[in-house]
Amino acid sequence: MTTLNSLETGQIAVIHSLTGDKRFISRATAMGFTPDTPVTMMQNAGGGPILVYLRDTQVAMARKEAAKVQVERSAK
């Protein structure tokens, strides 16, 4: 188990859980970050936000928030 912000570009993972306050969890689930959802890291370079692909859309997320998303790396 690892966090979303630790994935490298191109890696695929499955969302396991979200941690944080109710406000973050509510916003993240509204964006599609729900358990058992596959996510692909599109961009994780530098110090800016990360870019992920999930549910047929690209989503930008702050690194601090991405650290609250627990994922399990895919075997692919």
Contact 34, 40 (CB under 8 A): no
Domain that includes residue 21, residue range: 2-73
Task: Express each pLDDT in 50-64 by its tens digit.
Answer: 999 999 999 999 999
3-class secondary structure per residue, the chain: CEEHHHCCCCCEEEEEEECCCHHHHHHHHHCCCCCCCEEEEEECCCCCCEEEEECCEEEEECHHHHCCEEEEECCC
Confidence class of residue 76 from pLDDT cuts 50, 70 and 90?
Answer: low
Q: Stretch 18-32: mean pLDDT, rounded?
A: 96
Average pLDDT, the chain: 94
Number of domains the chain contains: 1
How many Å separate Cα 70 from the centre of its chain?
8
